[in-house]
Amino acid sequence: MFIQRLAILGVGLIGGSLARALKRAQVCAEVIGCGRQLDNLQEALRLGVIDHYTTDIAEAVRDADVVVVAVPLGQMASVFSSIRPALAPHAIITDVGSAKASVVEEAYQHLGEHLGRFVPAHPIAGTEKSGVAASFASLFENRRVILTPLAETDPQATALVTQLWQHTGAEVVNMSVEHHDEVLAATSHLPHVLAYSLVDTLAQMEDRREIFRFAAGGFRDFTRIASSDPKMWHDICLANRSAILHVLAQFNADLAELADAIEHGDSAHILSIFSRAKMARDKFSG
Amino acid sequence: MFIQRLAILGVGLIGGSLARALKRAQVCAEVIGCGRQLDNLQEALRLGVIDHYTTDIAEAVRDADVVVVAVPLGQMASVFSSIRPALAPHAIITDVGSAKASVVEEAYQHLGEHLGRFVPAHPIAGTEKSGVAASFASLFENRRVILTPLAETDPQATALVTQLWQHTGAEVVNMSVEHHDEVLAATSHLPHVLAYSLVDTLAQMEDRREIFRFAAGGFRDFTRIASSDPKMWHDICLANRSAILHVLAQFNADLAELADAIEHGDSAHILSIFSRAKMARDKFSG
Ligand SMILES: NC(=O)c1ccc[n+]([C@@H]2O[C@H](COP(=O)([O-])OP(=O)(O)OC[C@H]3O[C@@H](n4cnc5c(N)ncnc54)[C@H](OP(=O)(O)O)[C@@H]3O)[C@@H](O)[C@H]2O)c1
Ligand SMILES: NC(=O)c1ccc[n+]([C@@H]2O[C@H](COP(=O)([O-])OP(=O)(O)OC[C@H]3O[C@@H](n4cnc5c(N)ncnc54)[C@H](OP(=O)(O)O)[C@@H]3O)[C@@H](O)[C@H]2O)c1
């Protein structure tokens, strides 16, 4: 695989890390970055993440062979409609959005004749930081990238996007859009919702200063994800609303059962829940 | 401060780490360990954590100047009643239990004439591992230890236990029993309940294999505490039941409000909750 011209729309944590990884793998002749704010793009250039930049999205995609849309979920629709008239007929388009049904729906609405070369993707990797300054080339190494190709997607486009991600050191797997959104609601979106909500509960308590003063290591790990970008997680909650609310309802039912067992001192029940969870967690973390 | 004979009842993660830290600080002439299983005590001896051991709890505390009760919460009452007849009149007794009202109630019931030299304590430090093999001397460095002395507690006993913990590198603070239990319910006990419950919800899902396969770093951190000892957390949930149920009810109300905002697409509300939480979390983690 060799890409003559790669356009990264949104040179933040994910777009920047992908650009770095592909440069390191030497699979692109030229990487052009696009964003709205000049300072972030200038920093990206200075850091060697991109070769050129423009704030003109049509200019960014003109003559690009591959276009990676790495903007927040709330910006996908507007970016799709802006690039449509400027895309080369052979250009392959892919995205990195954390929820897929909403992005796919917007692609159907706005990508028109380019839809067959659109490959929806989501790298299961990230940190709680944002912006190009937080990006690094090894972010995707040994992580998984989920592709959710559509019935319309050209298999050659899917093959190229697969190779592209493999060059970052990631393992690529395919999944349906719906299944992706369910799995991610359970393993990523719900945990973020719970972490934000717990920290917010504590932050509203009268003795919050003492509360946080006496919080220890377990709390720090448990709430690390509540340091993530609020706007990004707002976008994800709205984009994957129904899957999140569905798994949240299951969680609420299970939590109510546990609370009931605690209230009634039902030792066997509490122990069986905690033991089952520990077993699953230990198995997961290898 | 110099302790001639220190007895550690329960040479596990906490008891073992305390013994190691006090040996390193060279403040004890002799450390005797006590437990029920020989293999753990033999390992403690082999690791140099203790100087002698016995499985006879009366023998362990006889002639001890300081007795540290580091057994699970569910064992405190039986240990208190077993040591009472064997304690020296000058012996200072302290514990390390993660909840304090229940331990204090049991001390009132079982320590009798020794109550005035009992100093309830809780080191805010730990890992998700158990047993003497997981213990290490630096566990308490720069961590906090909360003492909850009673109206009856001899100030000299409190002073000695304060010094003892300071020798491990910890910062010692005093608090009322009730306040301790509320603060810990919020910062430690509720997070553990949520982590266990979430992992259990996921472990019961039909596609649990895939679920855990696609869980990434954030999930690993968030659920690390669900790897903790189920029996210990069962004991804590029962020992601090009312404070835990109280803060859980507050959390449930806040979570329901957030779910409602997600369901109705109330952007401003979602953003304000996430932003407030991120601010509190960032401030907490320094
Ligand atoms: N962070 C994670 O953990 C993670 C993991 C997997 C997937 N994702 C997904 O990756 C995408 C980006 O997230 P990120 O964490 O990389 O965020 P980020 O660091 O904030 O980067 C987003 C970038 O997009 C640019 N941008 C925003 N609106 C734009 C527009 N209309 N046109 C052009 N550029 C625009 C921003 O720059 P300007 O403000 O200068 O325009 C910024 O550089 C999101 O869809 C997210 O769901 C994130
Ligand atoms: N782990 C934490 O994160 C943490 C943090 C702060 C406070 N604490 C508190 O510290 C205490 C101990 O927890 P831990 O984590 O150190 O647990 P641990 O590693 O399992 O150690 C407990 C020890 O107590 C012994 N034991 C149990 N019942 C006994 C009895 N009746 N008589 C004598 N020894 C007995 C056990 O050995 P045998 O089975 O051989 O008897 C074991 O070595 C608990 O009260 C807990 O609430 C724990």
Residue A286: band (very low, low, confident or very high) from pLDDT cuts 50, 70, 90: low
Reduced DSSP (H G I as helix, E B as strand, rest coil) percent helix, strand, coil of chain B, to 5: 60, 15, 30
Among the candidates A159, A175, A191, a domain finishes at A175
The average confidence (pLDDT) of chain B is: 96
Residue B215: band (very low, low, confident or very high) from pLDDT cuts 50, 70, 90: confident
Average pLDDT over residues B102-115: 98
pLDDT of B128: 87
pLDDT of B218: 84
> Which residues have a Cβ under 8 Å from the Cβ of A180 and sit 6 or more positions away?
A100, A122, A146, A148
Among the candidates A142, A175, A208, a domain finishes at A175
Pair B238, B268 in one domain: yes
Write the residue with the smallest CA distance to atom 1 of ligand 1.
A126
- pLDDT score of B217 more than 80: no
Which residue, chain included where needed, has tokens 């990523």?
A188
pLDDT of A241: 98
Q: Does A176 touch chain B (CB under 8 A)?
A: no
Pair A8, A106 in one domain: yes
Average pLDDT over residues A168-192: 97
Pair A71, A116 in one domain: yes
CA nearest neighbour of B218 among A228, A286, A202 = A228
CA distance B282 to A94: 33
The tally of CA atoms less than 13 A away on the side-chain side of residue A244 is 27
Asked if A57 and A71 touch (Cβ cutoff 8 Å), the reply is: no
- pLDDT score of B209 more than 90: no
pLDDT > 90 in chain B, percent: 92
DSSP structural state of residue A186 = I
Pair A10, A134 in one domain: yes
pLDDT in tens, A17-52: 999 999 999 999 999 999 999 999 999 999 999 999
Inter-chain residue contact B202 with A186, CB threshold 8 Å: yes
pLDDT in tens, B247-268: 999 999 999 999 999 999 999 9
Average pLDDT over residues A128-144: 96
Inter-chain residue contact A212 with B283, CB threshold 8 Å: yes
Instruction: Measure CB to CB from residue B237 to each of A224, A229, A262 and give the nearest one.
Output: A262
Q: Does A273 touch chain B (CB under 8 A)?
A: yes
- Could you say which ligand is closest to the alpha carbon of residue A229? 1
All residues of chain B having their beta carbon less than 8 Å from the beta carbon of residue A178 are none
Q: Does A143 touch chain B (CB under 8 A)?
A: yes
Residue A216: band (very low, low, confident or very high) from pLDDT cuts 50, 70, 90: confident
Pair A58, A198 in one domain: no
Asked if B95 and B121 touch (Cβ cutoff 8 Å), the reply is: yes
What CATH number does residue B7 fall under?
Answer: 3.40.50.720
CA distance B132 to B41: 8
Inter-chain residue contact B215 with A187, CB threshold 8 Å: yes
Asked if A213 and B186 touch (Cβ cutoff 8 Å), the reply is: no
Q: How far is CA A21 from the centre of its chain?
A: 17
CA distance A133 to A51: 16
Instruction: Measure CB to CB from residue A223 to each of B215, B273, B281 and give the nearest one.
Output: B281
Pair A17, A109 in one domain: yes
Structure tokens at A272: 């069986």
pLDDT of A27: 97
* d(CA B61, nearest CA chain A) in Å: 31
The answer, yes or no, to whether any atom of ligand 1 lies below 6 A from the CB of A40, is yes
Helix (H) or strand (E) holding B217: helix B217-223
- pLDDT score of A137 more than 80: yes
Q: Does A193 touch chain B (CB under 8 A)?
A: yes
Pair B129, B222 in one domain: no
The average confidence (pLDDT) of chain A is: 96
Asked if A23 and A164 touch (Cβ cutoff 8 Å), the reply is: no
Pair B183, B163 in one domain: no
DSSP β-ladder status, A28-34 and A92-95: unpaired
pLDDT in tens, B17-37: 999 999 999 999 999 999 999
Least confident of A121-135, A188-202, A213-227, B141-155: A213-227
Residue B85 has a CB neighbour count (10 Å cut-off) of: 10
Asked if A8 and A32 touch (Cβ cutoff 8 Å), the reply is: yes
Inter-chain residue contact A280 with B201, CB threshold 8 Å: no
Average pLDDT over residues B184-193: 96
As for how many domains chain A has, the answer is: 2
Average pLDDT over residues A118-145: 96
Instruction: Measure CB to CB from residue A216 to each of B124, B128, B237 and give the nearest one.
Output: B124
Pair B186, B251 in one domain: yes
Average pLDDT over residues B103-132: 96
DSSP structural state of residue B221 = H
Pair A46, A165 in one domain: yes
* d(CA A98, nearest CA chain B) in Å: 13
Write the residue with the smallest CA distance to atom 36 of ligand 2.
B10
What CATH number does residue B211 fall under?
Answer: 1.10.3660.10
pLDDT of B107: 98
The answer, yes or no, to whether any atom of ligand 1 lies below 6 A from the CB of A76, is no
pLDDT > 90 in chain A, percent: 92
DSSP structural state of residue A265 = T
pLDDT in tens, B80-100: 999 999 999 999 999 999 999
Instruction: Measure CB to CB from residue B225 to each of A191, A222, A271 and give the nearest one.
Output: A222
Among the candidates B174, B203, B223, a domain finishes at B174
All residues of chain B having their beta carbon less than 8 Å from the beta carbon of residue A234 are 267, 270-271, 274
- pLDDT score of B60 more than 70: yes
Structural domain of B197:
179-284
- pLDDT score of B286 more than 70: no
Pair B143, B56 in one domain: yes
Asked if B121 and B110 touch (Cβ cutoff 8 Å), the reply is: no
Pair B140, B225 in one domain: no
